[in-house]
Chains A and B, each alone.
Chain A
Amino acid sequence: METQRLLSEPAPGISASPSEENMRYFNVMILGPAQSPYEGGVFKLELFLPEEYPMAAPKVRFLTKIYHPNIDKLGRICLDILKDKWSPALQIRTVLLSIQALLSAPNPDDPLSDNIAKHWKANEAEAVETAKEWTRLYASGA
């Protein structure tokens, strides 16, 4: 089963453990990638496998507050493979790696959060500072 594979072949900087009450629910942790504004942060996510999985995409959401143009206030993520580009041949592991990659390469041209994307485009340096600040405030792992 995929879950065992996920646990036995962990990706660097990512962990996922199924909840005890519900085997479809996973607690996920992603470390902020090096050389990104999220470096040093520990981000908590929840991942839920819907009934139709793997024919339908898993549902993933950030629990830790994060300042990122493709992630909104509720932690929802704008990522194509979680929507129309989903394929059952993708795995939970691929999804989490893609989310980690999104932290390294924010894409303000395809925003989920308009305000943050505007900020990013108008003054990237300042936006990056805010992201670092939020990482310190909310994702210090404490």
Chain B
Amino acid sequence: MFGNYGQRYIVLTEKDINERQEEDIGKVSAVLSIRREEACVLLHHYKWNISKLSDEWFADEEKVRDIVGLLLNGIDLPNSRKLTCGICFEGYSSDVMSSAGCDHFYCHECWEGYISAAISDGPGCLSLRCPDPSCGAMVLQNMINKLAKDDDKVRYARFILRAYVEDSKKTKWCPAPDCTCAVEFVSDGNYDVSCNCKFSFCWNCTEEAHRPVNCETVSRWILKNSAESENMNWILANSKPCPKCKRPIEKNQGCMHMTCTPPCKFEFCWLCLGSWAEHGERTGGFYACNRYESAKKEGVYDETEARRERAKNSLERYMHYYERWASNQTSRQKAQADLQKAEKEQLAKLTDVFGIPETQLKFIIEAWSQIIECRRVLKWTYAYGYYLDDKVKSEFFEYLQGEAESGLERLHQCAEKDLQSFLTVRSDNTEPAPSIAEFGDFRVKLAGLTSVTRNYFENLVQALEAGLEDVHSTAQGTTSSNATNIPSKKAVTKGKTKKQLPRTSSDNSDEGWPCERCTFINPSSVDACSVCDKHRY
């Protein structure tokens, strides 16, 4: 294999693992001039550390042989006479008796049972010794292959493969259920890896990927969640009473924008239960439902007054973060399902209806991939926020998180709901079919939102990974009510080296105008940004 250069990690399939293992065994058996099965038990004993094994071997071969139970000279079978099996005490002729190289002979039936019992006890069978308690002779793989049942041979070989991955400090199994790949970690630093099976996980702690939050925060958070799981069950419930008409509304979509069923049709936010109309320009464009403090002040928790009385203040705070963490998790799963649906059915349908080749519909796939990644990041930032106890940093963090979250909500809504109008082809002609021009507008909007959201999240990730250090020098005295007085504009735009949107060469109004806030290029025909609603002037 070449070209590992610069890779942070390597995904190994079962075949790769097998090849590497065979290579190691071959190397050791050549260098130490021993049989392959002997090399195999030695390597297992030395946890596949070849240099340690050969150092100790060449320093004191006899000692290593003694520890591992490798006899120097096998004992030849005593001439074909009758022997008594040391387990069943039956007499057998020597051609149906075997020993592990020592002079303790057992009949093949007893060997089969002995090996089988050891293998069903687990990976300890890789250092199985002669049945005689006073003898340490190692039972090697060629004995297993000669004497064990077929399925035991397979299981034994699997244990060797597993041990190869599990003993090494550099390889770990992919934690996804049903995945048989392992990941070798090459460099330091960022531990997030993505397996062939598409599962992303943190190589260090094997939890699902949680960048930019560190492993310690994640494990504290997961521990906290399991301690509180009883209190939190109600949050996982998938329905809430509509804040206006009190009928239970089920959340069956990924974005947080809820619309109550007719006749109520009240639009509200799943997380804060506030009116959705207040989640945008009308509040100065300031997204605040990620904030624990403001949610408390405005008394929106009145809905849960009874619960609140029971709960202590700290539990209430935890609930705020937990609910947002869990909701993003659910939304992410929904988005993953939606991505699959798009790939499997929707693109083909759009090609059918609008005659656009699927290659030009990639922006939909990109949007969903971005949503999935952002939901993951956003989810973990709630664990981060829960443990953040610096007041100034908190404010800056919540600002960045709020910007990112509101961008993501717009993107998710656009991908989820706007797309639907192009997929429902009406045969009854009650409404005019959407035109190809309308689809073009949709494309511009969705692609724009994707790139804007990506920017917001890059900023958020960068700021968190830098430990929110910029905040103290630039964010003094900012209040959260004024959107133009953005805390640390420096940090927000810093590091944005690439612009995802094609830029026109000048401010030529025929070419559209770039939004001051979110960088989206708007058509000159509109005066408010079609992405973030900010006015042009």
**Chain A residues at the B interface, C-beta cutoff of 8 Å:** 1-2, 5, 52, 54-56, 81, 85, 87-90
Contact = CB atoms under 8 A, between A and B. Distances in A.
10 contacts: A1-B89, A55-B113, A55-B114, A55-B116, A81-B133, A85-B133, A88-B87, A88-B131, A89-B133, A90-B133
A88 B89 contact: no
B227 interface: no
B483 interface: no
B1 interface: no
B131 A87 contact: yes
A20 B113 CA distance: 28
Contacts of B87: 54, 88-89
Given A55-B117, A87-B133, A89-B131, 20 more contacts: A1-B89, A5-B89, A52-B117, A54-B87, A54-B88, A54-B110, A55-B113, A55-B114, A56-B117, A81-B133, A85-B133, A87-B131, A87-B132, A88-B87, A88-B110, A88-B114, A88-B117, A88-B131, A89-B87, A89-B104
Nearest to B118: A55
B248 interface: no
Contacts of B113: 54-55, 88
Interface in B83-103: 86-89
Contacts of A2: 88-89
Nearest to B132: A89
Contacts of B117: 52, 55-56, 88
A90 B131 CA distance: 8
Nearest to A56: B117
A1 B90 CA distance: 7
A89 B199 CA distance: 48
Contacts of A85: 133
A56 B104 CA distance: 19
A88 B109 CA distance: 12
**Which of the four size classes fits the interface of chain B?**
10 to 19
A81 B133 CA distance: 9
A52 B121 CA distance: 13
- Per CB-CB distance, the 3 closest pairs between chain A and chain B, nearest first, are A55-B117, A89-B131, A88-B87
B275 to A, nearest CB: 64
A133 to B, nearest CB: 36
A40 B106 CA distance: 40
A6 to B, nearest CB: 10
Contacts of A55: 113-114, 116-117
A55 B116 CA distance: 9
Nearest to B135: A89
A2 B106 CA distance: 15
Contacts of A56: 117
Interface in B131-167: 131-133
Contacts of B86: 89
Contacts of A1: 89
A2 B87 CA distance: 9
Nearest to B130: A89
Nearest to B129: A87
Nearest to A55: B117
Nearest to B106: A89
Contacts of B133: 81, 85, 87, 89-90
B235 to A, nearest CB: 43
Q: Which of A1, A54, A56 has the most CB of B within 10 A?
A: A54
Contacts of B132: 87, 89
A33 B110 CA distance: 35
A86 to B, nearest CB: 9
Contacts of B106: 89
Q: Which of A5, A54, A81, A89 has the most CB of B within 10 A?
A: A89
Contacts of A87: 131-133
Contacts of A89: 86-87, 104, 106, 131-133
A87 to B, nearest CB: 5
Contacts of A88: 87, 110, 113-114, 117, 131
A106 to B, nearest CB: 22
Interface string B324-352: 00000000000000000000000000000
Contacts of A5: 89
Nearest to B104: A89
A15 B114 CA distance: 28
Contacts of A90: 133
Nearest to B110: A88
A88 B104 CA distance: 12
Interface string B57-90: 0000000000000000000000000000011110
A3 to B, nearest CB: 10
A87 B129 CA distance: 10
A89 B86 CA distance: 6
Nearest to B89: A2
Nearest to A54: B87
Contacts of B104: 89
A2 B86 CA distance: 10
A55 B86 CA distance: 13
A3 B104 CA distance: 21
A5 B86 CA distance: 13
Nearest to A89: B131
B440 to A, nearest CB: 72
A88 B133 CA distance: 9
Contacts of A81: 133
A26 B114 CA distance: 24
A5 B131 CA distance: 20
A89 B111 CA distance: 11
Nearest to A94: B133
A89 B116 CA distance: 15
A2 B113 CA distance: 17
Contacts of B116: 55
